[in-house]
Amino acid sequence: MDGKIALVTGASSGIGLATARRLAVSGARIALVARGRERLEAAAAQVGSERTAVFPLDVKNLAELETLPQRVVDRFGGLDIVVNDVGLNHRGPMLGNSAAELVDVITTNLSAPIALSRAAAPLIRSGGSIVNVASLAGMVPVHHEAAYSASKAGLRAFSRVIREELRERGITVSIVSPGPVDTPFFGDVEGVPSLVFSQPMSSADKIAEAILRAIRDGDEEIAVPWFSGKLCTLGYLSSGLLKALRPAMERRGEKNKRAYLARKATM
């Protein structure tokens, strides 16, 4: 990554922050993007102020987002890597959320990465890459996460198509699809469907490692954990199998969720 310029959204917390740290250690310079300036500046201090610049913005503001790649080029003199990491989830039954909340999930998780990829691609130098952070929920839809599952499935589909289109420009497009990750993204853990916890929990750094591997090797998709990705593919291919496995997975997920909450309570 020596000498590469990266733009990472969601860079003040969780997976985005861990990715920025790893990129900096590998020699890249990084544009850090999130809404809160203070948390971004704290992240920049952690990652290394000499390697970073902060760009506070809300990715839902698509017009401002589209100007970002050029601002990064103006600041650093080039652009090689874009990591679309920002995500939003409003859990619960569809009828428990307003239309505006559901649309916000799509704007944040799907429209924003589309707008940023479109604006960045002409500026990304040959040999560069786009990595889109999706979710296992984009492989097999999760109960009470309709808009979230739809947004991540859409992001996977978008990524696969532009992967073919951008190949001739020497740009790779990869998807990283995590299972549960121990970050503040869960919010109120009680409201997270038990099924989510049926898969092993990863650290943010484990997902960042996968993102750096995708940048280096240009993989089409990396699911973390690997086995959960295979299970999701099987579940997608056979909805009968998924239905049959679901009660056992929910029981296991509920047990894991209680253990996770107990661990958090002692921290």
Ligand X SMILES: NC(=O)c1ccc[n+]([C@@H]2O[C@H](COP(=O)([O-])OP(=O)(O)OC[C@H]3O[C@@H](n4cnc5c(N)ncnc54)[C@H](OP(=O)(O)O)[C@@H]3O)[C@@H](O)[C@H]2O)c1
**Residues at the interface with ligand X (CB under 6 A):** 10-16, 34-36, 39, 58-60, 85-88, 108, 133, 135, 178, 180-181, 183-185, 204
Asked whether 30 and 42 are in contact (CB, 8 A), the reply is no
3-state secondary structure of 181: strand
Shortest reach from residue 108's CB to ligand X, in Å: 5
What is the distance between the alpha carbons of residues 267 and 265, in angstroms, rounded to a whole number?
Answer: 6
Smallest distance, ligand X to C-beta of residue 137, A? 7
Q: Which is nearer to ligand X, 88 or 124 (CB)?
A: 88
Closest CB to ligand X among residues 33, 73: 33
State residue 260 phi and psi, 5-degree precision: -65, -45
Q: Which of 25, 141, 186, 154 is nearest to 84 (CA)?
A: 154
What is the torsional sign of CA 256, 212, 46, 52? negative
Whether 236 is a known active-site residue: answer no
> What are 101's two structure tokens?
């909340």
Report how far residue 71's alpha carbon sits from residue 67's, in angstroms, rounded to the nearest whole number: 6
Helix (H, G, I), strand (E, B) or coil at 9: strand
Nearer to ligand X, 70 or 111 (CB): 111
Instruction: Identify the active-site residue in 5, 32, 72, 148.
Output: 148
Q: Which is nearer to ligand X, 12 or 172 (CB)?
A: 12
CB atoms within 10 A of CB 184: 8
Distance in Å, CB of 246 to ligand X, minimum: 19
Cβ of residue 2: shortest distance to ligand X, in angstroms?
26
Active site residues: 148
